[in-house]
Amino acid sequence: MTVAAGLALAGCGGGHSPVAGPKPSVSASPTRPVAKPRAAGLDPAHLPAGWSLVAWPAAGTIPVFGQSAPVTNADAPTSQPSTSEPPARQPPATQAPAVAPVGRSAEQPTSTLANPNAEGAPLVLLVKHYQPDWLQVSLPVRPNGSTGWIRTKDTRLTATPFALTVDKTRHELTVFKDGKPSGVYPVGIGTGTTPTPLGHFYLAELLKPANPAGPWGPYAFGLSGFSDVITNFDGGNGIIGLHGTNQPDRVGTDVSMGCIRLRNSDITALAALLPVGTPVTIT
């Protein structure tokens, strides 16, 4: 689903202060792609190679149990991925083992998430570990890399065959489908003082800016991650975006305040292709 919005991503205008738009509302534009539903016959415990499980909570307030953050920043990927290999799906070694809540920890949530989110988009969560009763999910909160557990019964499960990698050195975004590369796009990234963060994220929302000729272009994905240096921008929390631009000549350079910029034709193609929930690895 696309949400029409005045965006408050992490300084994505690259120094051009955006004009605040209206409170986000559901767009009248055609429905965007959604991941394949569980009812289609996929076993959530045994997905095909390259696929990822996605959870869509049903309630307006989602209790999260056993929320945890990475011990250090060491879990951010540092090696350069091969363009012929999909992003790694293994949990970082510094994270705690995936143990579902039991006893009192299964009765007392450590936090809650609002559904829809602050931009008015339906809450979607990338599943890291599936169990019949519990899902360990990536959380769209600070600090980056936070995880928690939600009850499986409170969600609708889908699966996506897509994954993305962003290579900051090469200024390239690679799209994987079924674990195989299917497209490469040039991108602009954050500058040295406002870098695009490293790590494992996912596409948390798809927004439609009020002005398609503006600094965000015709579409903007909000990622589950946040800038490491910007904590407040235009009323937002420094969310990292993947979006178009009105400066196409600067795609391929270090130009933004942390967001990932694509040419408008490329973000339009990706908006028509990628469902929210798609994992994103930035190296």
In a 3-state reduction of DSSP, which class is residue 36? strand
> What DSSP designation does 30 have?
P
List Cα–Cα distances, 73 to 10, 30, 80, 121, 211, in angstroms. 20, 39, 17, 29, 36
Active-site residue set: 243, 259
H or E segment to which residue 273 belongs: helix 264-273
Q: How many other C-beta atoms can be found within 10 angstroms of the C-beta atom of residue 66?
A: 22
Nearest CA among 53, 226, 41, 17 for reference residue 137: 53
- The Cα–Cα gap between 141 and 69 comes to 10
Distance separating alpha carbons of residues 115 and 133, to the nearest angstrom: 21
- As a whole number of Å, the end-to-end CA separation of the chain is 28
- In which residue are the tokens 């040039």 written? 186
> By three-state DSSP, how is residue 268 classified?
helix
> For residues 18 and 209, what is the distance between their CA atoms, to the nearest angstrom?
11
The CA-based dihedral angle spanning residues 185, 176, 156, 10, taken in that order and rounded to the nearest 10 degrees: -30
CA-based R_g, the chain, Å: 18
